[in-house]
Chains A and B, each alone.
Chain A
């Protein structure tokens, strides 16, 4: 959840107080209002309630004695279920709103705690009203409706690189750690229960298998709770992915252990064969889940290839395929969570290459919205379910459970890290281990699994539930609240804020290839070698199938570069075009500053070029410079919750570039008109052409149709650059020549040898989706201006012939 810290100015705070009061009032009224129908829902005498409602509302319209046609009627029963659902969702969302309005609360107490408290309140209110609390954490509702959006959101936006780099560690923690936890807690709990001497309570009757089952339920780290708490503390990527990855991947283990123990608890004994089958079952569950997810992911990617004509339903495919992956996995008792993660992670790169920018935004927003609401609802329901019970408090059992959970977690993490560090390059320090251990939060999944237990088969179900709730409360409240100050105290490394720069991207790719090469030279097939093979396979076969059109061939670096340029272009236009944007590193550096110096011009004696009077030169230079300078902005940092627009919009780039060019051109034309009165020079002297300085700048622009495939129609108004060829005389204006700072040297076309290296920002016409969507800011100040034909421009096609040279 994004944690907005509201900073109110003193006057603002005063103003918002009545607003807050109003909001609280509304919330209370809503609570009261919601309690009655919610309570009424589960009470048997619904009709009685309805009648009383009827009379209250329909008083004025109905004649009590004669039953005339009811003008106004209330039929709550008709809309009951959807109404209640909507009311709960509304409650959850209003709560979320409310928390962020209270300024300091959200920074002290994590949202999850507050929501549980709200749930407790609501549950309490319902109970007070005498109604029966609805079974909100019913397992079907939880597992089929509430959990999938959160997991899909996590899976779709999973940072693949850090995940894959640490997958060994994550699997160790998830599988071995969870199994260790389950057996340790279950076993020791059984032992403790057995040694209760004085109190021959029901504890003695607990069987070992039941304890082990309980252990397996309570030992799994919960992804919802982890997400909720970790999102607010912004620790570094490595720790985040370790704990979070573990919470996702331990689902398979939990599923297997749970079913195993439920099955055999009935029988009473477990043989070695059963244990062996359990291991096989684990592999089937885990790998099967991933396989199901991957299949659906590929289907989704393949479908998205053909959606270019029906953009509006693109997001639907993503959601439906993912949900079906989850349901299919659940059908076979495979791990639904792993299926969902695999589906999201597999489909994402291909789907994003195929869908439109708007669909991309839609998917992002919908996923965030659903997962946010789901999370809120889950915590509220936890609170409500706590009030409901059923409870059976047993001091020994509960306290021993809590203590054992903590101890098991710590021992497990420390022990595993010792082993893992032998294989890791970036070792996990003690601080890291502490955070991993402390971040092992339990949540609603454990409760739901406990709730699923059959009361008849498991006599101690109530006690289990109580213990589970206590552990959940302990981890969420105590650990959740204290983890933030602890992170500060221990000075754990925080998340890096700045987005990757183009240099980092270039060098990441460079390093990948370098390390692959070194591995090849060394002769062993390491990590990089296989990654490289996978990438090549992907590029050669998979991308061609799953990505439509031109983009299937686009290398990653270029895609990254385009995205970056577009983002900047959009920022520039949105800020009013040309106005300096505030940036982290305000800079006056522009292209002009990095272009290599031209070789010194010919000696003065050989120069037959007339020079402009000084005043005029200054003016020309100033105007050109002011039009050509650009500021480079630092990109905004990426945050999982801020949805920066992804500017790969069809047609948007055209508009943008056109607009910019228009503005600049108009300015130029206006100012350059004054300079047509330069003293006449011999007819075939290049100086005549200084008059055409105006069009120089815009020549680097590539017409829009050279962008991806056929998605963008040729823009008839685009100004195209003429390809450099012998027949076109080119005038270059050297502004920054050190030899003659006071003169504008005009070199003629025979100096074209120098032009070659200036082609940096220009693209030759026929090409694919390379950086043609560069806005006007791309062709900024340069040492030399390329003067081509001017304003009466030609059509967009790059293949057309040269127009007549402008020199007579």
Chain B
């Protein structure tokens, strides 16, 4: 599994207990109650990702109702940064894993491709905090983006051909410039932060 340090696992466990109210599992409500998340436009997708069975890497599909600490940790492990000791091969695997996580967030019906509808939905969510302006432009942006993916990956399509959707390979291809293994990470502190919040009693 992941290579978290003992300190980090302890801290995450403390956080888990805080979220779950000292129970064994957390449900969606527990995560939805985090106040800081309220401002996040893609809140639902993030919470959904925690309960998505695909992110547990056990070849299951569907979603959980509640997750335990192991599953929580598994999802968190997607956000580990590479270290100086990570080899090229490991970096490749890491990048694929992270891209897969993102892909799963978009591919809600789990058919292996991100269709135009799903992509539109994703962009709409992203712009959901921007009011009406966001909604109107979202469709156009999603269409343009989809077109770009199709143009780069399958440059010569006859007018009658239909581009089904973004497959994982195409997804990797268009995002390869972003170097996901270095970008998609957070710092897991070795310090216990649950006791360090000023004046916050919950979450």
A: residues with CB less than 8 A from B are 421, 425-427, 496, 498, 500-504, 506-511, 513-524, 526-529, 532, 536, 553-555, 557-558, 561, 564-565, 585-597, 625, 629, 632, 736, 741, 757, 759-761, 763-764, 767-771, 774, 778, 781
Contact = CB atoms under 8 A, between A and B. Distances in A.
B159 A502 contact: no
A281 to B, nearest CB: 33
Chain B CB within 10 A, most for which of A421, A517, A565: A517
B1 interface: no
Nearest to B98: A511
Contacts of A536: 39
B145 interface: yes
B147 A594 contact: yes
B189 A524 contact: yes
B186 A761 contact: no
25 contacts: A421-B84, A502-B141, A503-B175, A504-B177, A506-B123, A510-B102, A522-B15, A522-B76, A523-B194, A526-B186, A555-B134, A558-B130, A558-B134, A561-B141, A585-B152, A587-B150, A589-B147, A589-B150, A592-B159, A593-B157, A593-B159, A596-B116, A760-B139, A761-B140, A768-B133
Chain B CB within 10 A, most for which of A557, A585, A586: A557
Given A425-B185, A517-B46, A526-B187, A760 B143 contact: yes
A511 B84 contact: no
Chain B CB within 10 A, most for which of A421, A589, A590: A589
Contacts of B184: 511, 514-515
Contact of B156 (A517, A564, A588, A736): A588
Contacts of B197: 523
Contacts of B94: none
Nearest to B120: A760
A721 B137 CA distance: 16
Contacts of B186: 515, 518-519, 522, 526-528
A585 B151 contact: yes
Given A520-B36, A558-B134, A760-B139, A507 B147 contact: no
Interface in B83-99: 83-84
A54 to B, nearest CB: 67
Nearest to A778: B140
B144 interface: yes
7 nearest CB pairs, A to B: A587-B151, A520-B36, A524-B193, A770-B137, A517-B46, A587-B155, A555-B130
Contacts of B10: none
Chain A CB within 10 A, most for which of B115, B151, B174, B189: B151
Nearest to B182: A426
B143 A761 contact: yes
Nearest to A772: B136
Contact of A760 (B39, B41, B140, B183): B140
A543 to B, nearest CB: 12
A503 B126 CA distance: 13
Nearest to B141: A561
Contacts of B149: 503
Contact of A506 (B126, B133, B134): B126
Nearest to B193: A524
B160 to A, nearest CB: 5
Nearest to A509: B126
Given A426-B182, A589-B155, A759 B145 contact: no
Given A526-B187, A593-B157, A518 B46 contact: yes
B127 interface: yes
Contact of B161 (A421, A503, A593): A593
Given A511-B183, A517-B43, A768-B133, 7 more contacts: A515-B184, A518-B79, A527-B187, A528-B186, A561-B140, A561-B144, A591-B147
A781 B36 CA distance: 44
Interface residues of B, number: 79
B158 interface: yes
B145 A506 contact: yes
B180 to A, nearest CB: 8
B130 A774 contact: no
B157 A763 contact: no
B157 A589 contact: yes
Nearest to B106: A510
A759 B146 CA distance: 15
A771 B137 contact: yes
Given A553-B133, A595-B116, A763 B127 contact: no
A588 B203 CA distance: 52
Nearest to B160: A736
A529 B182 CA distance: 18
Contacts of A554: 133
Contacts of B79: 515, 518
Contacts of A511: 102, 178, 183-184
A504 B175 contact: yes
B130 A523 contact: no
B141 A625 contact: no
- What secondary structure prevails in chain B residues at the interface with A? helix
Contacts of A768: 132-133
Contact of B157 (A588, A761, A764): A588
B137 A425 contact: no
A534 to B, nearest CB: 13
B74 interface: no
A767 B76 CA distance: 40
A208 B50 CA distance: 63
A317 to B, nearest CB: 28
Contacts of A521: 19, 31, 34, 37, 46, 50
Given A523-B193, A523-B203, A761-B139, A496 B177 contact: yes
Contact of B174 (A425, A503, A595, A764): A503
B4 to A, nearest CB: 12
Contact of A593 (B141, B162, B185): B162
B163 A589 contact: yes
B110 interface: no
Contacts of B199: none
A586 B105 CA distance: 31
Contact of A565 (B18, B144, B189): B144
B52 to A, nearest CB: 14
B29 to A, nearest CB: 14
Contacts of A586: 155
Nearest to B197: A523
Contacts of B18: 523
Given A511-B184, A527-B187, A781-B159, A517 B136 contact: no
B7 interface: no
A529 B187 CA distance: 12
A557 B134 CA distance: 9
B159 A520 contact: no
B63 interface: no
A759 B46 CA distance: 28
B148 interface: yes
Contacts of B15: 522-523
B154 interface: yes
Contacts of A774: 140
B153 to A, nearest CB: 9
Contacts of A629: 159
Given A516-B40, A558-B133, A507 B143 contact: no
Contact of A736 (B115, B139, B142, B159): B159
A636 B143 CA distance: 21
A330 B193 CA distance: 43
Contact of B163 (A518, A593, A781): A593
Contact of B146 (A421, A509, A564, A594): A594
Contacts of B123: 506, 557
Contacts of A770: 133, 136-137, 140
A520 B140 contact: no
A516 B43 CA distance: 10
A520 B34 contact: yes
B158 to A, nearest CB: 7
Contacts of A564: 144
B148 to A, nearest CB: 6
